[in-house]
A and B are shown apart, each in its own frame.
Chain A
Amino acid sequence: MTLTARPAAATAPKPRRNRLQLTASDRFVYVLAIPLVLILLVYIVFPMIATVFTSAEDGGAAYADFVSGNSRQALVLSVGISLASVLTAGVVGTGLAVLLTRFSFPGRSVLKVFALLPLALPPLIGALSFYYLYGTSGIIPRVLAEVTGVPASSLSFDGIAGVMLVHTLTMYPYFYLSVSAGLSGSDASLEEAAMNLGASRSTMWRTVLLPMLTPALVSGALLTFMVSMASFTAPQFYNVNTLTMRIVAAKTSGAYDLAAAQSTVLSVVSILFLLLMRWYQNRRLTRSMSKGTPQTVKTVQGILPQILAAIGSAVIVLVLAAPVAAIVLLAFTVNGTWTTQIIPPEYTLQNFIDIFTEPRSLRPLLVSSQMSAVAMAASIVVGVLTAWVIARWKGKGAGVLDLMIMLPWALPGTVVGINIVTAFASPTPFNLGQVFLGSLWILPLAYFIRFVPLVFRNAAASLAQIDPSVEEAAQNLGAGPLRTLRTITLPLMARGVIAGALLAFVQGFGEYVASVVIYPARFVPLSVEIYNRQYANDLGTAFAYGSLQVLAILIVLIISEVLEKPGRFTRRRRRTGDIAETAAATAA
């Protein structure tokens, strides 16, 4: 029995240190980490390094080429377009967010649904539908030409303007989502306090709301910039020579070292932005502390303003719905009949019938779904286990592993393609002697690399909602680490993982940007086939394929909505920024 404060310390012999500092579950984490680190090294990190080496093969000749040739202009153009996209997408996204969270007007609820529609656009078919809506031979310019008599070509969006239009209308959701979350998350009592202390409405916006929205705006901007730098499909259709276009061109002409140098530059920019974004997210501290007073919504008063608001919402809804509507419309076009008419003159179901009855037409559908399914399976295993290891790893290694698995998320699809080409063209110790070029496995590999971050993020988010003491309870009752993982942790993660996996699947199903760089001639994936059909003027078939992609995305979005409803198992809501970031993974 101890009677004074520290008697034992004085009398006891020097206690011997325990040799075994790790508990069983700690050791299990590290054992599991080894194969995961190996996989991430071989398939994600080494290919990047391989590209860097290839780019430097001729003693930097490729970089000299980069600086003196048109690559530099391409880089400047890419950065310029990306900055402009941040601005336009920011204005549209923030405007919509303020409108929809702070005002009540006729058409608000419909607009709210359609505001997220761009997320359902697969990259290739999305850009294609913009092309046929607003491009030189597009529906809208032709309608306007009919009405005004001005030639359609001067009313259309072409070149850089076309790219900007696609970027604005597909990337504004990053701002819309993060700003809406920021606005509805902010506490009305803060605004009331500011106004109670004498701030006018505009001063309150400037001094209270805007500073609180800064994190949302910054992450929206960084995301838009990254996605825009990676953009390939829009530049391809409008023939704008961005860096991604140059990479594919260099690779196609066999200038591998130049393609590698261009990829390296683009990777560096993208990774810097990824790091910037993470740094910013970890730094931000502004969080509302109070329990929250519900936000007040300002109702639009008066007949005339209401009518104007209704018309305005209707127009916006039309603009937002137009790309999907165009895809569906064009899917029923009889191939080769649409020439100079405003809209296609003849319609048929034959395109869909052909896809499902002609083996040649069905094949791309099967190729994409099978390749994507394989990639999804691998993503689930690696993504879930990595999320678990990171969550339970006590030490610095967790951050490294996290960065490794999130890297591909920052990499443009084009770069992922080039990395695979350079790393798996011939057997080396780094790729463990595996050669994938021209093989069945190259597409699943690309889809795995591109979309494992998606599964990982979802798995990590659902894991964060599980109370760690639940795992401890299982161990306390006699379950070993593996058994705890199997009987407790995995079942609790299931909903989030399934949602993430489905999202990864549907992304692989529609993948174009990396596929076009690497696909083997025997295995043409769906999006490449869409491009080929469009090129061959089989517009109806191309859009029929595209509408199937849209359908698949919509189904998956609905399922994940159901799955991710604040479940009965969850401990806390997921972080608000996550939605926008997950959305960004779908972009191209």
Chain B
Amino acid sequence: MNSVDLENVTKVYGGSTPSVDDLTLTVGDGEFFTLLGPSGCGKSTTLRMIAGFINPTSGRIRFGERDVTNLPPHRRDTGMVFQNYALFPHMDVAGNVAYGLSMRGVAKSEKRSRIDEALAMVGLTGYADRRIDQLSGGQQQRVALARALVIQPSVLLLDEPLSNLDAKLREETRAQIRQIQQRARTTSVYVTHDQSEAMAMSDRIAVMNAGVLHQVGAPREIYRRPATSFVARFIGRSNVLSGTVEEAGTERLSVRLDGGEVLQAPVSEGTLSARVAGGDAVALSVRPETMRIEAVPEGSGTVVGGVRATVRMTEFTGSSCVIWLRYGDEDLLATIPDTDDLPEAGDEVLLRPDTARTWVVAP
């Protein structure tokens, strides 16, 4: 069992605010698990604690049944791919890949075949004798991957391994990493700040901000049912409207926005929507593509199920139109299919969110 367990892991550097605050999560055996968040959220610190380069201030880290909290990095049997690859510049490709095998006392003949195998896996057959500075960035990245995988680590750790590649190569490589991981079924922890990368590659994602874990879930779940307003905003684009719960039913709940309008959202067992009661402060996440734009009805009072906003700007992007709006003090965003009668800047419109896809989040 090569699972990874973090239990109440906290890391405090000199100051009083923890870099990682009481983090508990489990990475399943063979899972591709991503730590996602903006820079400084503690994801890299978490990964480095798993690798053993940083010791947690408190809490335990386990690989399966094995407690590795106080184990030095060289005895943890993880394979790490570093952001800048950290290849040994004084060794050739084969030397780099062989390094971990030598540390494990693998016999010479076996070493040779395993190096060849690893290089073949990343598509670098025939590159064994190359010097590191003769390789392109993408090739270096794959050497780093081969070096980490050849030792058949119990856990594969990847620290933003794609961030130094150009956009096209990044997409090719992420597909490749995912394929290799699925073939080897190596438990993998991947760190990135790029949400689309996380969505495309991961079995599950942990979203972190300022040292705090906000949500763990499959990519689709996190997108559709964000737990907090931070997750809603960080994953994809979202309009987050704050308000208070007016009525909590079993199927639906009504939220009165700070501007006075009332919107509804579905209730789902085991989530925040099922736990809130009347009077609780919450926020609603409304994705831009789930809003319709209508003309403001005559004899205006408060409209149930819609908010009034003023159009600030419209953008035609080809397949759709992006409309920037102002609602009270907030900027809202709606994407609608292209149409001939777009509203113009200054128009007042009624925004009507799709109730089924509106979601209650922690403010």
Shortest beta-carbon distance, B56 to chain A, in Å?
A: 6
B362 touches A3 (CB 8 A): yes
Q: Which of B49-91 contact A (CB under 8 A)?
A: 51-59, 69-70, 72-80, 82-84, 86-90
Partner of A17, one of B58, B83, B133, B217: B58
Q: Would A477 and B79 be within 8 Å (CB), given that A3-B362, A4-B362 are in contact?
A: yes
Closest to B99 in A: A477
Is A488 an interface position by the 8 A CB rule? yes
- A480 to chain B: which residues have CB within 8 Å? 72, 74
- Stretch in A22-30, A173-181, A293-301, A422-430 touching the partner: A22-30
Closest to A487 in B: B99
Is A329 an interface position by the 8 A CB rule? no
B80 touches A476 (CB 8 A): yes
A476 touches B74 (CB 8 A): yes
Shortest beta-carbon distance, B203 to chain A, in Å?
A: 15
- A488 to chain B: which residues have CB within 8 Å? 88
B88 touches A18 (CB 8 A): no
B72 touches A9 (CB 8 A): no
A4 touches B227 (CB 8 A): yes
A1 touches B217 (CB 8 A): yes
Report the separation of the CA atoms of residues A197 and B86 in the bound assembly, to the nearest whole angstrom. 45
Closest to A17 in B: B58
Closest to A494 in B: B90
B272 touches A4 (CB 8 A): yes
Report the separation of the CA atoms of residues A21 and B10 in the bound assembly, to the nearest whole angstrom. 12
Closest to B8 in A: A15
A23 touches B215 (CB 8 A): no
- Stretch in A91-99, A362-370, A464-472, A543-551 touching the partner: A464-472
B82 touches A469 (CB 8 A): yes
Q: Which of B140-192 contact A (CB under 8 A)?
A: 147-148, 151, 157
B216 touches A474 (CB 8 A): no
Partner of B82, one of A9, A23, A472, A478: A472
Is B24 an interface position by the 8 A CB rule? yes
Is B103 an interface position by the 8 A CB rule? yes
How many interface residues does chain A have, given as a range?
Answer: 35 or more
Is A562 an interface position by the 8 A CB rule? no
A2 touches B82 (CB 8 A): no
Q: Would A8 and B24 be within 8 Å (CB), given that A3-B215, A478-B104, A479-B103 are in contact?
A: yes
Number of interchain pairs (Cβ within 8 Å): 136
Is A20 an interface position by the 8 A CB rule? yes
Contact mask B21-35 → A, CB, 8 Å, 1/0? 110100000000000
A18 touches B69 (CB 8 A): yes
Shortest beta-carbon distance, A44 to chain B, in Å?
A: 31
- A22 to chain B: which residues have CB within 8 Å? 55
Is B271 an interface position by the 8 A CB rule? yes
B22 touches A12 (CB 8 A): yes
Shortest beta-carbon distance, B321 to chain A, in Å?
A: 34
Partner of B213, one of A2, A469, A481: A2
Closest to B77 in A: A478
- B89 to chain A: which residues have CB within 8 Å? 470, 492, 568-569
Is A201 an interface position by the 8 A CB rule? no
Report the separation of the CA atoms of residues A488 and B95 in the bound assembly, to the nearest whole angstrom. 12
Is A491 an interface position by the 8 A CB rule? yes
What is the interface of chain B, defined by CB distance below 8 A to chain A? 8, 10, 21-22, 24, 51-59, 69-70, 72-80, 82-84, 86-90, 99-100, 103-104, 131, 133, 147-148, 151, 157, 212-217, 227-228, 230, 271-272, 275, 362
- Enumerate 28 A-B pairs (CB-CB under 8 Å) in ascending A order: A2-B213, A2-B215, A3-B227, A3-B275, A3-B362, A5-B362, A8-B8, A15-B8, A15-B58, A17-B58, A18-B58, A22-B55, A23-B54, A23-B72, A23-B73, A469-B86, A472-B73, A473-B86, A473-B87, A473-B147, A474-B99, A475-B73, A476-B74, A476-B157, A477-B74, A477-B79, A480-B74, A492-B90
Give me 6 other A-B pairs in contact (C-beta within 8 A), A23-B73, A476-B148 excluded: A2-B227, A4-B228, A473-B86, A473-B87, A473-B88, A478-B75
Smallest CB-CB A-B distances: 4 pairs: A24-B72, A478-B103, A477-B100, A469-B86
